[in-house]
Amino acid sequence: MIDFVTKLTEIICELGVKVKVLCIDREFYTRAVMRYLQSAKIPFIVPVKVQGKQMKELLQVKKSCCFEYVMSPQGKEPLNLNIVVCVNYLKGKKDKNGLEIHAFSVGGFTDPKKVSKMYERRFSIESSYRIRNTSKPKTSSKKPEVRYLYTIISFLIQNHWVTLQWKYFVKRQTGPKIIDEDKFRFDTFKMISWSYLKRLFRIPDGVVTLSNITYD
């Protein structure tokens, strides 16, 4: 993990790009990565792996907060971390109630609202990749050109669906535009697209057998 991060940051520096914030997933929550980001003074947000009794007790909160935490891997020098806890009240959102708690190890940030808002972009990227995998053509080819082509096709399909959502499924209300996602799910779009392609290319719905089929 530390090799990935160091190599990535080296490439970014060579391009002359300044990192506003590095949002990486939970797998990078390791002592080596946290220590490197702190020493390199790179602003970062990384979800915390909730392990150990102490961390679980610290996350028993009712509202967003910040605190210092000492990561002490066995046989290694302790490392001081700044932890930001973002608490959301679900209030029936997605048919759920209660509290939703997310803890992040951060560098350069202390405002829970800002941390949550910035990391939401990371969640949206992961969601787009999950959706992509449901529409990506399957292949066993090891040629990168073929695999990359299939990836582009899946993203084009997804982008067309998003375009239709913004054009026809935005709620009529004052304020910011909000898509009514339940009205036009991606599975529905795929089903409609497949039905059209079947008619376009005259793909049969079944086959005619040369003998009667019997059922036991």
Residue 127, in any domain of the structure: no
Q: What digits encode the pLDDT tens for the residues 44-60? A: 999 999 888 889 999 99
Domain with 118, as residue range(s), is: 2-122
Spatial strand order in the sheet of 79-89 = 22-23, 44-47, 99-107, 79-89, 65-71
pLDDT at 70: 92
pLDDT at 94: 64
**CA-to-CA distance for 112 and 64, rounded, in angstroms?**
6
Determine the pLDDT at residue 196. Answer: 92
Last residue of a domain, one of 122, 153, 188: 122
Domain-ending residue, one of 65, 96, 122: 122
Question: Which of 122, 148, 174 is the C-terminal boundary of a domain?
Answer: 122
Nearest-10 Cα torsion for 172, 114, 103, 82:
180
Task: Find the largest Cα–Cα distance for the chain.
Answer: 76
Residues 104, 6: one domain? Answer: yes
Residue spans of beta strands (DSSP E) within the chain = 22-23, 44-47, 65-71, 79-89, 99-107
User: What is the DSSP code (8-state) at residue 81?
Assistant: E
Q: Are residues 114 and 26 in the same domain?
A: yes
pLDDT at 177: 85
Environment class of 122 (CB within 10 Å of its CB; exposed 0-12, middle 13-18, buried 19+): middle
Total-model pTM: 0.65
Specify if 195 maps to a domain: yes
Residues 86 and 185 occupy one common structural domain: no
Residue 10 and residue 95 share a domain: yes
Q: What pLDDT, on a 0 to 100 scale, did the predictor assign at position 95?
A: 67
> According to the model, what pLDDT value does residue 72 have?
82
pLDDT below 50 — which residues of the chain?
none
Is the residue at 13 inside a domain?
A: yes
Give the count of domains, the chain. Answer: 2
148-160 burial code (b ≥16 CB/10 A, e <16): eebeeebbebbee
Instruction: Return the pLDDT at 109.
Output: 86
Per the domain annotation, does 207 fall within a domain?
A: no
pLDDT at site 181: 83
